[in-house]
Amino acid sequence: MNNHKYQIRAFAVLVAAVAAFSVAACSHETEKQSSEERGFVSYDEINAEYKDSVAQLDWPESYTPPADLEGEDTKLTFQSGFGDTRASILFECAWEREWLNTYATAPDQAAAAIEQLSKVPNMGYMSPQRADDATRRVFNDYLDRAKLGDPSGFQENIDINCRSN
């Protein structure tokens, strides 16, 4: 009997949690949100966010980022910050490739890549609101390895997380 009451209470808590998240997910945001309160926006809005982020970042001479957010269904809604995150990931991948292509042959270019990659831990997509501790720790480990001339971390990230563009 006691077990049955526990199951009913657990089910009620689960239903209440699902209902609360459902209402929050479907709500319409009208005010500009802080980084902790991200709403959902249209493709056009997220693409504008992406373009703004791309314009604010420095890119390797050997790489040109896509003019628009690629590979997304334009009929969907997106969480605010997604465009910035996608631009930031492209930035990270582009500079990791730049370092991998130059660390053994062009020390000045490799140093410039490390300088750019040293900005990553302070970028929005690596903030505690948008990335977990493990992600930040792994990136910092890869960066530390690269500073010592070890390409394994950046190569692993390229192989796993970066598109072939």
- For the residues 32-38, what does the mean pLDDT come to? 48
Q: What is the pLDDT of residue 156?
A: 97
- With respect to residue 46, please indicate whether it lies within any of the assigned structural domains: yes
Tally of domains in the chain: 1
Q: Give the tens place of pLDDT for each residue, 42-54.
A: 999 999 999 999 9
Taking the model in full, what pTM does it have? 0.76
CA–CA separation, 64 and 90 (whole Å): 10
The answer to whether position 100 is within a domain reads yes
Let me know if residue 29 belongs to a domain: no
142 part of a folded domain: yes
Q: Is residue 147 part of a domain?
A: yes
Please report how many Cα atoms fall inside a 13 Å half-sphere around the Cα of residue 125, on the Cβ side. Answer: 18
Q: What span, in angstroms and rounded, lies between the C-alpha atoms of 133 and 73?
A: 30
pLDDT of residue 63: 96
Write down the pLDDT at residue 35: 43
Domain boundaries, position 121 = 39-161
Burial of 92 (0-12, 13-18, 19+ CB in 10 A): buried
DSSP 33-46: PPTTS--EEEHHHH
Q: Report pLDDT for 52.
A: 98
CA–CA distances in Å: residue 117 to residues 66, 86, 94, 150? 20, 16, 10, 15
For the stretch 97-133, pLDDT in tens is: 999 999 999 999 999 999 999 999 999 999 999 999 9
Label residue 27 by pLDDT band (50, 70, 90).
very low
Is the pLDDT confidence value at 75 over 90? yes
pLDDT digits (tens, 9 = 90+) for 7-24: 445 444 444 444 444 333
pLDDT for position 9: 53
Instruction: Measure the CA–CA gap between 151 and 96, rounded to whole angstroms.
Output: 9
The contacts of residue 115 (CB under 8 Å, 6+ apart) are none
Residue 68 placed within a domain: yes
